[in-house]
């Protein structure tokens, strides 16, 4: 179904229409590339092709625009997630989550790294409400690792007594590091090598 254009009223009272999904995609790329704090209204209006009064009328504020752009980013990052979490073993799923991150962080045509992780690092430049929202989103991502390890214990491919919280924290940290190295210009092959090295620790960490 085609997106219904959003209509806002300009300063002179004339309605202006734009495709909300289209402008959100453009805003998402700006925030993804520059971060929340460094993305100026000039950057956003230039990329989105609409004036700042229209942005404020449609989204309420820069933060409101960012929240919608981030929701769009998170929705895109969920693609294929269920399939990875349903792989036969916890090891396959954890490796799959890391390789999915490599693919997402190095995708051609979009900024490198993770939009969410980049903004979390700017906590001093956010409202308490936005910081809390970002923390919850990050926690949801991190919970995938812990939940899959818990399922591994239940199904027998992760040894009973494994400190699954510690194992999850290790691989979550690897994922965050992949975002940083992607922003620093690391190639997909370099990041896949990091994943392969991290997975060599699996047997010692999980007793499997």
The superfamily (CATH) of domain 79-206 is Tetracycline Repressor, domain 2 (1.10.357.10)
Query: What pLDDT score does 119 carry?
Result: 79
The full set of domain ranges for the chain reads 6-72, 79-206
Confidence check: pLDDT of 133 > 80: yes
Q: Which DSSP category does 124 fall into?
A: G
Residue 124 makes CB contacts below 8 A (sequence gap 6+) with: none
Query: What pLDDT score does 116 carry?
Result: 87
Query: What pLDDT score does 76 carry?
Result: 81
Query: What pLDDT score does 14 carry?
Result: 42
Residue 181 makes CB contacts below 8 A (sequence gap 6+) with: 190, 191, 194
Q: What is the mean pLDDT of residues 140-168?
A: 96
Specify the pTM: 0.84
Question: Mean pLDDT over all residues of the chain?
Answer: 88
CATH number for the segment(s) 6-72: 1.10.10.60
Confidence check: pLDDT of 81 > 70: yes
N-term to C-term CA, the chain: 48
């Amino acid at each position: 179904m085609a997106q219904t254009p959003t209509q806002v009223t300009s300063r002179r009272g004339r309605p202006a229409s734009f495709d909300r999904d289209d402008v959100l995609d453009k805003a998402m790329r700006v925030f993804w590339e520059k971060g929340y704090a460094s993305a100026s209204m000039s950057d956003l209006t230039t990329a989105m092709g609409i004036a700042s009064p229209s942005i404020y009328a449609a989204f309420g504020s820069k933060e409101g625009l960012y929240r919608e752009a981030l929701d769009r980013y998170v929705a895109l990052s969920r693609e294929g997630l269920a399939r990875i979490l349903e792989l036969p073993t916890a090891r396959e799923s954890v490796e799959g989550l890391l390789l999915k991150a490599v693919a997402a962080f190095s995708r051609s045509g979009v900024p490198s790294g993770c939009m969410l992780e980049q903004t979390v690092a700017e906590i001093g430049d956010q409202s308490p409400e936005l910081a809390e929202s970002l923390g919850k989103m990050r926690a949801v991502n991190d919970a995938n690792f812990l939940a899959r390890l818990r399922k591994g214990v239940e199904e027998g491919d992760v040894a009973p007594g494994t400190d699954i919280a510690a194992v999850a924290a290790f691989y979550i940290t690897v994922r965050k590091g992949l975002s940083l190295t992607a922003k620093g210009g690391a190639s997909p092959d370099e990041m896949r090598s990091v994943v392969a090295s991290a997975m060599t620790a699996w047997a010692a960490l999980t007793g499997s």
